[in-house]
């Protein structure tokens, strides 16, 4: 039996290995229904069930149950809706910035994949996200100077500081030197955002190569700044980095974007909002997923070990990072263009081969398609970038979307302050 989802059929037995499964008793209790009603939901394709090996029992996908419960609770009042909505549930904020749907990812009505493959610059996409209008020509943002000697920040950071951590140290320093950052009008804020994005790209290597910062700041584009800061020897590096930046520019209410909006709703300045977003991005279940993929490739080591490592992880019930996305049951549309770029530019790179072998092993095992995280790691390896570069590409690109949501939240003007529903602690 199957159900329609995203225009294709989906078996009620399909599920990703990382999805939590529960028993029939637990599933019925979660929904507050009898088991017969649970079986009706399964027959209607509303809840997926998975046979339990060696028994006649089935297990039920918890995310399906929670999504169904949220919809049912909508009839019971706003409190129940909000409680479920904050856990991959129903939408809670109106936004015109981006949309995730069956057709893929769109920025203000423009396909993100089309923008990336057409070669539109991150600068043009940022202006689209911030204003709602896509420039006819890619804009040229003014070059900026380092606000203080890069060597001064380098002295405070260990040489092996991950690039995202270095940027998290940089942004508060930029804020401290900008005395007029508070309650800035929208046009001034957009100019400030352009300068900040240029700085983010140029300072990624400050911990181990502070001498590259000034040169990177003189580059014409954000993508070129990244290529210079990392000293990539690949001729097409700016072009392919730009493709990845555009595909990472926004993704609706992800954790870091929601954090930026909550912070913006308090009236905090742009730098404070970006600091909050960078903190959320660092988590292993968000931007830090790229670091987990890098660790997986290190664990595999050689292409011929990929299948054994993947199957052993699956046997232990562990997830394989870099695959599957809850919003894209048919595959993350951002991944193929980035994977293609990595294969085009340097397919012979050792860790690119390892990543491809892992992808093949997952495909052979019938598991979900690669997420954007695997694509970013493969591209970073193909371009010869340092550890942590994939997560940094994600952060620099996503900063464009953070700014768009910060501006939109200020325009909406309300404080994001949900209430908690008190429940008795099981520990008493």
- Domain harbouring 193, CATH code: 1.10.580.10
Q: What does the pLDDT read at residue 44? A: 84
16 assigned to some structural domain: yes
CA pseudo-torsion sign 342, 327, 106, 108:
negative
Closest listed residue to residue 88, CA positions, set 247, 322, 258: 258
393: its two tokens: 């590409």
Whether residue 372 is contained in a domain is answered as: yes
Show which of 66, 85, 104 is a domain's final residue. 85
Placement of tokens 């399964």 in the chain: 42
Nearest to 327 by CA among 71, 41, 84, 103: 103
Residue 409 lies in a domain: yes
Helices (H), 301-388: 306-315, 335-345, 350-364, 372-382
All residues at 6 or more sequence positions from 4 whose CB lies less than 8 Å from its CB, including other chains: 10, 45
Beta bridge partners of 51: 58
Residues 39 and 170 in one domain: no
Residue 39 lies in a domain: yes
94 found inside a domain: no
How many structural domains compose the chain?
A: 2
User: 123-173 pLDDT, tens per residue?
Assistant: 999 999 999 999 999 999 999 999 999 999 999 999 999 999 999 999 999
Domain span at 58: 2-85
pLDDT tens digits for range 391-421: 999 999 999 999 999 999 999 999 998 878 7
Apex 256 CA angle, 247 and 18, nearest 5: 80
- Do 39 and 175 belong to one domain? no
Instruction: Tell me the pLDDT of the chain averaged across its residues.
Output: 90
CATH code, domain with 11: 1.10.1660.10
| Residue 108: inside a domain | no
pLDDT tens sequence across 225-274: 999 999 999 999 999 999 999 999 999 999 999 999 999 999 999 999 99
- pTM for the full predicted model: 0.81
| pLDDT level of residue 5 (50, 70, 90 thresholds) | very low
Residue 314: C-alpha distances to residues 234, 317, 328, 346, 416 (Å): 36, 5, 21, 29, 40
Residue 278 pLDDT > 80: yes
Q: Does residue 103 lie within any of the structural domains?
A: no
Q: Which of 336, 341, 113, 141 is nearest to 237 (CA)?
A: 341
Any domain includes 92: no
Q: What are phi and psi of 11, to 5 degrees?
A: -70, 145
């Amino acid at each position: 039996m199957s159900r329609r989802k995203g225009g294709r059929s989906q078996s009620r037995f399909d599920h990703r290995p990382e999805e939590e499964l529960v028993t029939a008793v637990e599933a019925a209790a979660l929904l507050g229904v009898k088991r017969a009603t649970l079986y009706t939901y399964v027959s209607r394709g509303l809840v997926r069930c998975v046979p339990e090996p060696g028994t006649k029992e089935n297990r039920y996908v918890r995310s399906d149950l929670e999504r169904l419960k949220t919809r049912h609770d909508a009839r019971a009042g706003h409190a129940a809706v909000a409680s479920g909505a904050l856990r991959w549930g129903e939408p809670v904020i109106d936004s015109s910035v981006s949309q995730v749907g069956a057709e893929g990812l769109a920025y203000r009505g423009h396909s993100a994949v089309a923008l990336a493959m057409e070669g539109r610059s991150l600068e043009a996409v940022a202006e689209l996200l911030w204003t709602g209008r896509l420039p006819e020509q890619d804009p040229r943002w003014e070059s900026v100077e380092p606000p203080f000697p890069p060597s001064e920040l380098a002295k405070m950071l260990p040489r092996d500081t991950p690039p995202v951590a270095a940027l998290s140290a940089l942004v508060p320093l930029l804020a401290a030197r900008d005395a007029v950052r508070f309650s800035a009008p929208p046009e001034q804020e957009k100019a400030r955002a352009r300068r900040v994005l240029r700085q983010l790209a140029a300072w990624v290597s400050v911990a181990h190569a502070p001498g590259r910062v000034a040169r990177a700041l003189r580059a014409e584009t954000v993508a070129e700044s990244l290529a210079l800061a990392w000293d990539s020897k690949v001729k097409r590096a700016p072009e392919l980095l730009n493709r990845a930046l555009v595909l990472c520019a926004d993704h609706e209410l992800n954790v870091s974007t929601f954090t930026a909006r909550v912070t913006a709703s308090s009236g905090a300045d742009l730098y404070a909002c970006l600091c909050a977003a960078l903190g959320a991005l660092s988590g292993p279940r968000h931007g830090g997923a790229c670091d987990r993929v890098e660790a997986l490739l290190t664990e595999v080591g050689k292409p011929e070990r990929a299948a054994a490592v993947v199957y052993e992880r699956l046997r232990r019930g562990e997830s394989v990072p870099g695959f599957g996305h809850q919003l894209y049951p048919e595959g993350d549309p951002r991944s193929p263009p980035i994977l293609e770029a990595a294969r085009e530019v340097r397919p012979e790179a050792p860790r690119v081969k390892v990543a491809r072998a892992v992808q093949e092993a997952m495909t052979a095992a019938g598991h979900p398609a690669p997420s954007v995280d695997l694509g970013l790691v493969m591209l970073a390896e193909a371009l010869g970038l340092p550890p942590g570069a994939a997560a940094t590409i994600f952060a620099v690109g996503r900063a464009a979307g953070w700014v768009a949501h910060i501006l939109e939240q200020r325009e909406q003007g309300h404080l994001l302050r949900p209430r908690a529903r008190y429940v008795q602690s099981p520990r008493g």
